[in-house]
Amino acid sequence: MRKKITVIGAGHVGATLAQRIAEKELGNVVLLDIPESEGMPAGKALDILESGPVYGYDSRVLGTTEYPPTAHSDIVIITAGLPRKPGMSRDDLLNTNAKIVKSVSEQVAKHSPNAIVIVVSNPLDAMTYVAYHTTRFSKNKVIGMAGVLDSSRMAAFVAEALDVSVQDVQPMVMGGHGDTMVPITRYTTVAGVPVTELIPKEKLEGIVQRTRDGGAEIVKLLKTGSAYYAPSASVVAMVESILKDKKRIFPCAAYCEGEYDVKGLFLGVPVKLGANGIEQIIQLNLTKDERSSLQKSIDSVKELTESLKRLNII
> How many other C-beta atoms are found inside a 10 Å radius of the C-beta of residue 40?
17
Query: Is the entire prediction scored with pTM above 0.85?
Result: yes
CATH of 147-310, one of 3.30.300.180, 3.90.110.10, 3.30.950.10, 3.40.640.10: 3.90.110.10
Q: How many angstroms separate the CA atoms of 269 and 125, rounded?
A: 12
Residue 26: its pLDDT value, please? 98
Q: How many angstroms separate the CA atoms of 68 and 57, rounded?
A: 25
Q: Where are the alpha helices (DSSP H) in 199-271?
A: 201-212, 214-222, 229-243
Per-position pLDDT tens, the chain of length 314: 999 999 999 999 999 999 999 999 999 999 999 999 999 999 999 999 999 999 999 999 999 999 999 999 999 999 999 876 666 566 778 999 999 999 999 999 999 999 999 999 999 999 999 999 999 999 999 999 999 999 999 999 999 999 999 999 999 999 999 889 999 999 999 999 999 999 999 999 999 999 999 999 998 999 888 999 999 999 999 999 999 999 999 999 999 999 999 999 999 999 999 999 999 999 999 999 999 999 999 999 999 999 998 888 88
Residues 6 or more apart in contact with residue 50 via CB below 8 angstroms: none
Contacts 24+ apart (CB under 8 A), 305-310: 305/125, 305/126, 305/129, 305/265, 307/91, 307/94, 307/126, 308/94, 308/98, 308/126, 308/129, 308/130
Location of each CATH 3.40.50.720 domain in the chain: 4-144
Domain 4-144, classified CATH 3.40.50.720, yes or no: yes
Residue 4: its pLDDT value, please? 98
User: CA torsion, points 150, 234, 12, 224, in degrees to nearest 10?
Assistant: 10
Location of each CATH 3.90.110.10 domain in the chain: 147-310
Quick check: is 177 catalytic? yes
Residue 92: its pLDDT value, please? 78
* List 12, 111, 133, 177, catalytic entry: 177
Question: β-pairing, 75-78 with 116-119?
Answer: parallel
